[in-house]
Amino acid sequence: MKKLYVVGSRASKSLSPTIFNYWFKKYNVKARYGYLELTEKNFHNKIKEVLEKKDTLGLNVTIPFKKKIIKHLDKIDAHAKKIDAVNCVIKKKIISGANTDWTGYYKTLQNIKKTKNRKVIILGYGGASQAIHYVLKKRGFKDILIFNRSKKKIKYSNKIEYTKIYGELGAQLDGVFLIINTTPINPILKKHIKLITKSTIVSDIVYTPRNTTFLKQFPKNKKIYGISMLIEQAKPCFKMWFGKTPSVDEKMLNTIYKKI
């Protein structure tokens, strides 16, 4: 039986095993999906051991190892190279890596009229944020502002740009189309809430709880929940491992929602 794992410092909290094991049962796939909760100290040794095992077919990689995994791979796809992060590992004749976070997030916008000239604000600039920024730039969004605790150089820009500090956030909230929180905290303060209109779409990539502290502040706004991105980034991983794109049904969603 083939084995797959989600790898991260808090992997035991991940819903990836619930998602993939549901699909394995649905499609009669003889595989088992578990988790590997690793530390910065033991990551390289443990990953090497797991990838050397004959029954290992693939990995999902989460915080904080999406860059560290790259040194263990024979090849990574073009998107992972540009984002400099891998969240999906495929072990066949060679060990390859891909990034599906970028397309996974964009799929969550499917039911939203995408007005590419409208303002988008991204809160945080870690690995997931960079993948989201990458796809928004790739899809033609022109007005993207990124806020972060510390000043960081922004990728995917034709000119030298840096992230803005949260202290400047209030001045940029007027007319914002979409706010995406990619941090585990809530950077929005009370003074910011009154500046955000009901027409602004709010999105959080954290999926537990489903209605995060960030999202709770906007009871009347359209929301994009973090679980949507988790599911959408998982679909292409399943296809790379097994050659089939899985579908999402009500039973699956109910199984997931019970856990968040």
pLDDT (tens, 9 = 90+) of the chain, 260 residues, equals: 999 999 999 999 999 999 999 999 999 999 999 999 999 999 999 999 999 999 999 999 998 999 999 999 999 999 999 999 999 999 999 999 999 999 999 999 987 777 788 999 999 998 889 999 999 999 989 899 999 999 999 998 888 999 999 999 999 999 999 999 999 889 999 999 999 999 999 999 999 999 999 999 999 999 999 999 999 999 999 999 999 999 999 999 999 988 88
Strand 31-37 with 75-76, pairing: unpaired
Residue 75 placed within a domain: yes
Domain limits for position 89: 2-99+228-257
Does residue 213 share a domain with residue 165?
A: yes
Does residue 152 share a domain with residue 92?
A: no
Tokens read off for 126: 């870690």
| CATH number of the domain bearing residue 94 | 3.40.50.10860
| Residue 234 near residue 211, CB atoms below 8 Å | no
Does residue 232 share a domain with residue 203?
A: no
| CATH number of the domain bearing residue 174 | 3.40.50.720
Q: Distances in Å between the alpha carbon of 41 and those of 38, 46, 65, 241, 259?
A: 8, 10, 12, 29, 30
Residue 105 placed within a domain: no
Active-site annotation, residues: 66
- The rounded distance, in Å, linking the Cα atoms of 180 and 189 is 15
Does residue 215 share a domain with residue 239?
A: no
Q: What is the pLDDT of residues 65-83, one digit of tens each?
A: 999 999 999 999 999 999 9
Total number of domains in the chain: 2
Does residue 139 share a domain with residue 76?
A: no
pTM of the model: 0.92
Does residue 86 share a domain with residue 117?
A: no
Q: What is the pLDDT of residues 170-226, one digit of tens each?
A: 999 999 999 999 998 899 999 999 999 999 999 999 999 999 999 999 999 999 999
Does residue 234 share a domain with residue 215?
A: no
Residue 107 placed within a domain: no
Residue 108 placed within a domain: no
Does residue 243 share a domain with residue 178?
A: no
Residue 104 placed within a domain: no
Does residue 64 share a domain with residue 21?
A: yes
Residue 204 placed within a domain: yes
Residue 20 placed within a domain: yes
Does residue 67 share a domain with residue 28?
A: yes
- The rounded distance, in Å, linking the Cα atoms of 97 and 219 is 39
Does residue 234 share a domain with residue 208?
A: no
Does residue 213 share a domain with residue 250?
A: no
Residue 213 placed within a domain: yes
Half-sphere exposure of 125 (CA within 13 A, CB side): 20
